[in-house]
Structure 1
Amino acid sequence: MTPTLLTIPAKMLVGKRLTMSFINNRTPELWKSFMPLRNTISNVVGSNRYSLQIYPQNFLESFNPSNEFEKWAAVEVTSFSDVATGMETLTLPAGLYAVFYYKGNPANGDKVFKEIFTQWLPQSGYALDNRPHFEVLGEKYQNGSDDSEEEIWIPIT
């Protein structure tokens, strides 16, 4: 598993968020509340959706599946003017990311993340940065399909 290393500028995102843990995974609830409102968002950049996690400091280093984090369902926008009712804004900070391209059923993603954090990262010479982690769900993303494709973005230094 070899990622592409990319440095990105800050991005403006609009969406919805929920607090959850891996044991109390509320991802379906989050996306079900976001998707009906997605078309009310102004100034959208492209068609990609962002599934974004904001973990507390040292969350993954001292991993406990019951520890809570913030998860977002969002899209990128060119401006925060005219934010739709019920939506929130988030500025994704600029920085270096390891980008992994994943093809397969999203339900099997835990195996990919385990490989990233237990094999690739310790051998990479990089360390996790305390910025959001996210997945880009583009046009080839198909929830529940073995043919689904997505990008996994891991913040590194």
Structure 2
Amino acid sequence: MDSKITSIEKKYLVGKKIEMSLVESLTPTLWKSFVPSIGSIQNRVSKEMISLSVYPTDYFQNFNPNRKFIKWAGVEVSSLMDLPEGVEVLEIPAGLYSVFLYKGLASEAGPFFQWIFREWFPKSEYDLDNRPHFEVLGDKYKNEDPSSEEFVYIPIKPR
């Protein structure tokens, strides 16, 4: 699996969030609550959707699948004007990311992420940075379809 190192500018995500763990995933519930409001969000940068996670600082050093984190379902916007009721805003700070292409069922992504943290990071010139992790769900994303594709953004910093 290859990755591409990219630097992103600050972004604004408009969406909904929920606290959850990997064991008690509430991702489908979150998306079902957010999708009806997508059409009323103005100033969208693209048609892509973003699935984003904000983890506690030491989440990966003391990994426990029962530990809670904040999960977002959202879209990127160019302006925070005229937001519909019921949505929130998250600023994604500028920074370096390693971008991976994931193909397959989201429910079967465990080994993919294990590879990133157990093999890619130790061999790379980077450490994990404490910024949001996110997936860009574009034209080739098909929820729970084996041919689905999404781009996975992992925050990094030079060692």
Q: If the TM-score is normalised by the length of the shorter chain, which range does it land in?
A: over 0.9
TM-score (norm. length: structure 1): 0.98
Equivalent residue number for residue 26 of structure 1: 26
Could you tell me which residue of structure 2 aligns to residue 66 of structure 1? 66
Unpaired segments ≥5 residues, structure 2: none
Alignment partners' CA distance in 2, 1:24 and 1:152? 21
Counterpart residue type for residue 61 of structure 1: Q
RMSD: 0.7
Partner residue of 1:42? 42
Q: Any unmatched runs of 5+ in structure 1?
A: none
Give the superposition deviation at 1:123: 1.2
One-letter identity of the residue aligned with 2:147: D
- Percent of residue pairs identical: 48
Q: In the aligned structure 1, how far is the partner of 2:126 from the partner of 2:92?
A: 20
Q: Which runs of 4+ in 1 moved over 3 A?
A: none
Cross-structure match for 2:57: 57
Tell me the SS of whatever aligns to 1:146.
coil
Alignment of 1:7-156 (within 5 A): 7-156=7-156
CA distance in 2, matches of 1:103, 1:21: 23
1:125: Cα distance to partner?
A: 2.0
Distance 1:22 1:103 in 2: 20
- TM-score, normalised to structure 2, is 0.97
> How far apart in 1 are the matches of 2:83 and 2:112?
34
The offset of 1:13, in angstroms, is 0.9
**TM-fit CA distance, 1:111:** 1.3
2:8, 2:125 → 1: CA distance? 20
